[in-house]
Amino acid sequence: MKSLDALISAAVDHLAATRNAVALTGAGISIESGIPAFRGKGGLWERFDPMEIAHIDALVRDPARVWKLLVKDLKEIMDRAAPNDGHKGLARLEQLGILQTVITQNVDGLHQMAGNTDVIEFHGSFAWQRCMQCGRRVETRAVDASVLPPRCACGGVLRPDAVFFGEMIPPMALWRSQETTAACEVMLVVGTSAIVQPAASMPLIAKENGAVVIEINPEATPLTGVVSDILIPGKAGDIMNRILAQLENAR
């Protein structure tokens, strides 16, 4: 097995040679910002089944329950969260002219906050709430969550402008993700268990179109050794720092 240094050097060589890398990120990249993932240690799975509570049917049936168990806590955590070295590293890769686009499954807005300018929000955004009746959008920060579920001026229930299980991926996000993925030369897959579809098929599309696929994740995923060329085992912040130190050194 290759050493961590050798894996990082290999990733740096691929990144230094391209001006068209794309990143696919998942909940793992935001764990170091204090936002729990679904799966893995400390994940929300340990408390309840996200497929049930984050399903559109649960929201329609009992919005107060979904707000109480899931949305309110996430709002409090996300209102406070700031980008970590993983997000900042991807922003620096864009500044260096290497990374073009971030496709994220996260709804926390941290990539934009870190400075990436082309972020495809595959699962929508938690920064906004949408009225289930009139469609009006309200900033999540401005929502008073002391009475649940919070309501719009029209009386309709406010819901996160994010994609729940059982809902469609916004067509524009899906289309653009497929386009940028098919055209990229290197795909960085950071902090995703690569289980939730159709996001998990992006690395496959990249691979089939000749890209090098590099995973950053403390654990192996279904992509590892099958679709990805390299798995760099470790936390997003630490590994991104090491990659950037080597890249900037080489310039």
Which positions are annotated as active-site residues?
123
Q: Which is nearer to ligand NAD, 31 or 186 (CB)?
A: 31
Q: Does 103 bind ligand NAD (CB under 6 A)?
A: no
Question: Of these partners, Zn ion, ligand NAD, none, which one is at the site of residue 157 (CB under 5 to 8 Å by kind)?
Answer: none
Residue from 24, 131, 173, 200 touching Zn ion (CB under 5 A): that is 131
Question: Exposed (0-12), middle (13-18) or buried (19+): which is 19, by Cβ within 10 Å?
Answer: exposed
Residue 132 Cβ vs ligand NAD, minimum distance, rounded to whole Å: 20
Decide if 61 contacts 139 (C-beta within 8 A).
Answer: no
Decide if 161 contacts 124 (C-beta within 8 A).
Answer: yes
Q: Segment contacting ligand NAD (CB under 6 A): 26-34, 62-70, 176-184, 204-212?
A: 26-34
- Binding positions for ligand NAD, 163-222, rule CB under 6 A: 191-193, 195-196, 216-219, 221
Q: Which is nearer to ligand NAD, 152 or 193 (CB)?
A: 193
Q: Which ranges constitute the DSSP H helices of the chain?
A: 4-16, 50-53, 56-61, 63-66, 72-80, 85-95, 110-114, 171-183, 202-208, 236-250
Amino acid at 134: C
Adjacency order of strands within the sheet including 119-121: 119-121, 99-104, 21-25, 186-190, 212-216, 230-232
Rounded CA-CA distance 165/110 in Å is: 22
Rounded CA-CA distance 185/204 in Å is: 13
Look at residues 152, 144, 150, 164 and name the one whose alpha carbon lies nearest to residue 58. 164
Residue 204's SS3 state is helix
Q: Which is nearer to ligand NAD, 40 or 149 (CB)?
A: 40
Q: Does 87 bind ligand NAD (CB under 6 A)?
A: no
Q: Which is nearer to ligand NAD, 103 or 212 (CB)?
A: 103
Q: Does 89 bind ligand NAD (CB under 6 A)?
A: no
Question: Of these partners, Zn ion, ligand NAD, none, which one is at the site of residue 156 (CB under 5 to 8 Å by kind)?
Answer: Zn ion
Residue from 108, 121, 185, 215 touching ligand NAD (CB under 6 A): that is 108
Q: Does 156 bind Zn ion (CB under 5 A)?
A: yes
Q: Which residue has the tokens 């919070």?
A: 150
**What is the contact mask toward Zn ion in residues 136 to 155, using x (rule: CB under 5 A)?**
x---------------x-x-
Q: Which is nearer to ligand NAD, 20 or 241 (CB)?
A: 241
Contact positions vs ligand NAD (CB under 6 A): 26-32, 35, 37-40, 43, 105-108, 123, 191-193, 195-196, 216-219, 221, 235-236
